Structure 1
Amino acid sequence: MGTIVVIGAGPAGTCVVDRICAGAPQAGGGPAVEVHVVDPAAPARETPCGVPVHVHRDRAIGLAESAGRQLVRLLGGGILEADAVVLAQGHPGPDLENVPAGEPVLVRGAGRAFTDLLAPLTVGRGGRFTRGPQGEPVYLPGGLEPLLYVGSRRGVPHHARPGYELAGEARARRFPYEGDERQATAKELAYAYYRELFTAHPSRTRTTWAAFEPAFARAEQGGREMRALVTRSVPRFADRLHLDRLARPLHGMRFGDLAGLQRWMHGYLAADLERRSDPGFSPDLALIRALLDARPRMAGYPWFEGLFGLLADGPSLARQAELLALARAGIVTFIGAEPRIEQDEDGWRASGPTVPGLTRARTLIEARRPYTGPGGCAGPLLAGLYARGEARQAAGLLDVRLPDGRLVTGDGSVHARRFALGSLTAAGTFATLLPLADAVARAVLSQVSGALVDAAA
């Protein structure tokens, strides 16, 4: 039987395990492969296709090779041997083992790194999710969770990934820069958004795309003519694109206390879940696709990278629903935008413009995306691969060959038995996750099947 090790049980790991199970070959009336999943907070998994999936609630800290076999070293002291390894872990986060239970803990950052630390600090400490009367997740604390007080530059987490596909004519259009790349890019994003709205949902507009497009192309992005065109052509406020409002939803807002902010945040998350589940809002997905198209030339621009992360690099709908459940259970409390976090003799204190007063805690977690290149905060497994020239980076992320996700080594070759996908890689956005997981699974199964044939010979 062939052995595959998948490191990471987040969205990428779950997706690739599912595709491996769906495509696994059979031998002698049973599955020809087995899968080992390594993640400190891995849940148990269900594999109705019959492929054995062994869960190791441990951390992978090393990857080596001996006679073609891949050796995955675990923090707990064990070693897993495999025919192929898939790296699907999230960004290496802070050491969470010493985070105290039952007391306030400040968290700086509400993006991908924040999402990654939730499971180890909640279900990883004995809590569990059950279902409410409408099927929504409800969190039942285990008693060992910290109380997370979360602040970030925007004050809100990333939007969930849409659960639908485009329905209209998804064609992009470039506009001349004329000295302002930001305005030109914003216009390209708006063009994609409104094209999907007009072509997929014409009943929600007062004119046709054929009439709207030339007027849109002539108008200055964000100018009076553009605003007037959108107002008279798109009657519902919810159907109009407001990039500045999306980018800074809490800008200028003040709440009397944390309780008031929590009520607003719970509504914000619930509205995000509803909108990202409703195909009627497919223009949001067109906007994300336009962000993906623009990223190669806009990478490194802070405005663009921030908007990209907020809209195109968020959690799944299920993870976002779990975050809302954690917030309703009081495990997660949001403290607003632009927090000022300082250290004093008692620990840490946070203040900011969104709510009055101070939030105090003895512990601070930095939940901002770390640098993963050589010498950075890559974690011992990746750091070892980089140091030995067995992996390299592309734009600060793990370099892989597409479409099969094989690791690219320091000399530019690819490793036959090592694969990666997810947020560690340059192909780590949600729009590429499903097709990449399918391609990686096929390549892994092909490699393992070849190893089985060679062993039998």
Structure 2
Amino acid sequence: MAISHSAPPADGPAGPPPAARTVVIVGAGPRGTGLIERLAANAAELLPPRRRVEIHLVDPYPPGGGRIWRHEQSPLLRMNSMAEDVTMFTDERSAIEGPVRPGPSLARWAAHREEFAPHLEPADPAVRAELDALAPGDFATRRALSAYLDWVFRRAVADLPEWITLTVHRGRAIALTGAPDGPQRVTLASGVELTGDQVVLALGHLGADLDEAHTVSAEFAARHGRFHLPPAFSTEAEGPLAGVAAGEQVILRGFGLAFVDLTALLTEGRGGRFEHLPDGTLRYRPSGREPVLHVGSRRGVPYHAKTGYRLQGPPAPLPRYFGPDGVEQLLARPGQLELRRDIWPLMAKEIGFGYYHELFHAHPERTTLPWADFLAGYDRFDWYTDERADLVAAGVPDPADRLDFEHLDHPLAGLRFADPQALREHLCGYLRADVERRADPAHSADLGAFLALLSLYGQLPRVLAAGRLTARSTARELDGWWHGFFSFLASGPPGFRLRELLALSEAGVVHFLGADLAVELDEAGGTFVASSPSVPGHRVTATALIDAYLPKHALDRTEDHLLAALLRAGELAEEVVADAQHVHRSGLLTTSPADGRVLDPSLGGAGHPRRVALGPHTNGRAFAAFARPRINAPSFRQNDAAARALLRALAADPLGPRDPCDPADRPHPRELPDPTDQRERLDGGDRMGAGLTTARP
């Protein structure tokens, strides 16, 4: 059922208006919502006045939040960004061709909801109460973000011009067919068919069938009656975790954000509670239903906590080294590039610039050179040079104030502990120091580095689009080291999560295994056995294994039926980077960097004129659909470019006028009212002046 607008004014030539053009967007989460916002922003410029457009939005999950950020998940799950650092809107820093349309961050919307139309209060009283109390520096629950995303979706729809209508189909798309020069048909699981002139696959985060390693673990667990949880979205993990018994010994392989979420579900989620002590620490009171958790990973430590302060000095003018000119010079080099050898030195220098700019301006008492002198030398010297190291040593006398990427990346490298207790004492000290540092504005240079780190994503897509990285570097450095390093430094949990981890360790609920974790499958005992060189000779035996990672996109094993069918038909391709030494299959869908067009092997690898794909399942590698304000987010740039390309294609009308009797231009019979096609109005739709309704096949 459509969002119905009144007919557009007859300001064109006499006669019936041309047939409506149709866009089918598969995926109603933040990425699909962001695309709709950009369609609304660009429509007045790019669509002829009388060109009617129908948008069909398909997703089994609620619009706005989608699968990952929907309301129906545990209230224990939180964001890892402060409320003031979350926005879905472009701003003055957005380098886009279309118009900038600013909007509130999560924090500002929560504090001033009554000022923003459409005004619609969340149905959940707990979410309303949280939003009423939400401070800019708070880490909101995912349910609170879901309410914000729901509002953003409704605002985007309300901003569509009156000649564009939108229909929400709460169903799963399973097939996409149609010739490149003809209508595209999207089939839903219910049998409903939707016809579109353009189709967008904004599928968001997708799971995949188990790879070989996880299949071996799963089969082992089934054979011995043990528990195994493969990589899973935290939103959907609570049910499966019920299979872990109270007091059961569990190995968690992975120490990132998935670990944080899963630990919350297995502790507080089972009735345990944290008490605040007078000295500012926490004590955990177990419920008795918790398992015993043993955690390790490649680094052996959790992600760094998020900073809890603002810059103390003026913002650094980013970018300085890894900006348009630096990238231009980089791409002018002959031959292929490698990330660590050729690109990382510029990236590291940019991060260092953000760090030292804040240190010198906010904490000059800890420096011994004038900033202008330091910067003059810093400009001259490459990152991996003795001259730069000497300059830093001369200008920053305390080694603790110097930026050391190697130590940050490998905090347990070379360390060996006599027993698990010695490792625990070391890691507890490490965690306390990290929490204290990230809460102390005296270390605001860390935030300067963080902001510079984020700025790298403004230019990195351009480097990747050039296709100059070697296959080995793409595999091991871009999709391997760099993604992990960025997440470790920039995507960590709120500080209170690490304080909770300390309390869980004190309570004997969580135990640390160390770095370079290895897990063996003991057929004789039917158990999982973990070990780490951090504690030589120490082994932990468990009856449950949790792979505490998020699922990785793998097109050849994708859970998405539509993508799988197109892959079998040879109408899309996995990104493959190959050279004489290496072949890398990234698992990502290959698209055009310019506008997201799906590169179709059946068209000789050209961009499909009627199919677009956006999001983390593509080789665009712009994962976050929402972003921190004023960072020129790549996802916003992608959305704008794709929206403008779609609107131009619709305006060009390559199909010409349609025959009104053409079945392709009429609703599929299954879309007519029948017992299996229940339609319900979304709350508040009429307040948008847009009759927003949902079709449930």
Q: Structure 1 stretch 278-287 or stretch 216-225: which is displaced more?
A: 216-225
Match of 2:490 among 312, 316, 322: 312
Distance 1:377 1:290 in 2: 34
Residues 192 and 286, structure 1, Cα contact 8 Å, conserved in 2: yes
Distance 1:14 1:435 in 2: 18
Q: Secondary structure at the match of 2:513?
A: strand
Q: Secondary structure at the match of 1:33?
A: coil
Residues 232 and 549, structure 2, Cα contact 8 Å, conserved in 1: no
User: Would you say 1:359 and 2:540 are equivalent positions?
Assistant: yes
Match of 1:426 among 593, 607, 623: 623
CA separation of 1:430 and 1:21: change in aligned 2, threshold 3 A = closer
Distance 1:448 1:119 in 2: 34
Aligned to 1:80: none
User: Would you say 1:272 and 2:434 are equivalent positions?
Assistant: yes
Residues 152 and 339, structure 1, Cα contact 8 Å, conserved in 2: yes
Distance 1:384 1:21 in 2: 37
Aligned to 1:22: 111
Q: Secondary structure at the match of 1:193?
A: helix
Residues 273 and 285, structure 2, Cα contact 8 Å, conserved in 1: yes
User: Would you say 1:11 and 2:79 are equivalent positions?
Assistant: yes
- Matched AA of 1:368: Y
Aligned to 1:113: 258
Match of 1:335 among 482, 495, 513: 513
After superposition, what is the alpha-carbon deviation per residue over 1:362-419, rounded to whole angstroms, capped at 9, x for unaligned? 11111123224667677xxxx5897899xxx999899xxxxxxxxxxx95599xxxxx
Residues 165 and 279, structure 1, Cα contact 8 Å, conserved in 2: yes
Q: Secondary structure at the match of 1:266?
A: helix
Aligned to 1:144: 289
Match of 2:529 among 338, 349, 367: 349
Distance 2:301 2:315 in 1: 31
Distance 1:205 1:214 in 2: 15
- 1:34: Cα distance to partner? 2.8
After superposition, what is the alpha-carbon deviation per residue over 1:138-165, rounded to whole angstroms, capped at 9, x for unaligned? 2211111111111111111000111122
CA separation of 1:305 and 1:169: change in aligned 2, threshold 3 A = same
Residues 99 and 363, structure 1, Cα contact 8 Å, conserved in 2: yes
Distance 1:115 1:433 in 2: 28
Pairing 1:373-452 to 2, within 5 Å after superposition: 383=560, 411-412=611-612, 426-427=623-624, 431=628, 448=684, 451=687
Q: Structure 1 stretch 199-208 or stretch 238-247: which is displaced more?
A: 199-208
Residues 256 and 488, structure 2, Cα contact 8 Å, conserved in 1: yes
Match of 2:129 among 43, 46, 59: 46
Residues 558 and 564, structure 2, Cα contact 8 Å, conserved in 1: no
Distance 1:72 1:33 in 2: 25
- Matched AA of 1:306: G
Residues 80 and 492, structure 2, Cα contact 8 Å, conserved in 1: no
Distance 1:213 1:184 in 2: 15
Larger Rg: 2
After superposition, what is the alpha-carbon deviation per residue over 1:219-266, rounded to whole angstroms, capped at 9, x for unaligned? 342433222222221122221111000000000011111101111111
Residues 555 and 588, structure 2, Cα contact 8 Å, conserved in 1: no
Distance 2:632 2:108 in 1: 10
- Matched AA of 2:316: A
Distance 1:435 1:450 in 2: 34
Aligned to 1:35: 123
Q: What TM-score do you get using the length of structure 1 for normalisation?
A: 0.71
- 1:289: Cα distance to partner? 1.7
CA separation of 1:50 and 1:220: change in aligned 2, threshold 3 A = closer
Aligned to 2:302: 157
After superposition, what is the alpha-carbon deviation per residue over 1:34-61, rounded to whole angstroms, capped at 9, x for unaligned? 3349xxxxx988347499x9x8xxxxxx
- 1:321: Cα distance to partner? 2.2
Distance 1:124 1:342 in 2: 29
Residues 4 and 36, structure 1, Cα contact 8 Å, conserved in 2: no
Distance 2:123 2:64 in 1: 5
- 1:98: Cα distance to partner? 1.0
Report the structure, 1 or 2, having the larger strand content. 1
Pairing 1:57-206 to 2, within 5 Å after superposition: 92-93=233-234, 95-166=240-311, 167-171=313-317, 172-174=319-321, 180-181=341-342, 182-206=344-368
CA separation of 1:430 and 1:25: change in aligned 2, threshold 3 A = closer
Q: Secondary structure at the match of 1:342?
A: strand
Residues 110 and 152, structure 1, Cα contact 8 Å, conserved in 2: yes
The aligned length equals: 392
Match of 1:239 among 396, 401, 405: 401
Residues 111 and 131, structure 2, Cα contact 8 Å, conserved in 1: no
Residues 102 and 144, structure 1, Cα contact 8 Å, conserved in 2: yes
Distance 2:376 2:241 in 1: 54
Q: Secondary structure at the match of 2:122?
A: strand
Distance 1:50 1:334 in 2: 36
Residues 269 and 320, structure 1, Cα contact 8 Å, conserved in 2: yes
After superposition, what is the alpha-carbon deviation per residue over 1:183-220, rounded to whole angstroms, capped at 9, x for unaligned? 33222222221122112221110011101112223334
Q: Secondary structure at the match of 1:290?
A: helix
CA separation of 1:154 and 1:13: change in aligned 2, threshold 3 A = closer
- 1:353: Cα distance to partner? 1.2
- Matched AA of 1:354: S
Q: What are the ranges of 5 or more consecutive residues in structure 2 without an aligned counterpart?
A: 1-62, 87-105, 135-140, 144-165, 173-203, 207-230, 465-473, 567-573, 576-585, 590-609, 615-620, 637-681, 693-697
**Identical-pair percentage:** 36
Aligned to 1:402: none
CA separation of 1:14 and 1:201: change in aligned 2, threshold 3 A = closer
Distance 2:687 2:554 in 1: 32
- 1:304: Cα distance to partner? 2.1
After superposition, what is the alpha-carbon deviation per residue over 1:279-338, rounded to whole angstroms, capped at 9, x for unaligned? 221211121222222233478613322220110011112222222222222222111100
CA separation of 1:448 and 1:135: change in aligned 2, threshold 3 A = farther
Residues 80 and 491, structure 2, Cα contact 8 Å, conserved in 1: no
Distance 2:255 2:445 in 1: 25
- Matched AA of 1:352: S
Q: Secondary structure at the match of 2:303?
A: coil
- Matched AA of 1:325: A
Distance 2:626 2:533 in 1: 32
Distance 1:116 1:255 in 2: 28
- 1:350: Cα distance to partner? 1.4
Q: Secondary structure at the match of 2:279?
A: coil
**Aligned residues: CA RMSD:** 4.6
Aligned to 1:294: 456
Residues 348 and 361, structure 1, Cα contact 8 Å, conserved in 2: yes
Residues 80 and 493, structure 2, Cα contact 8 Å, conserved in 1: no
Distance 2:554 2:398 in 1: 46
Q: Structure 1 stretch 262-271 or stretch 164-173: which is displaced more?
A: 164-173
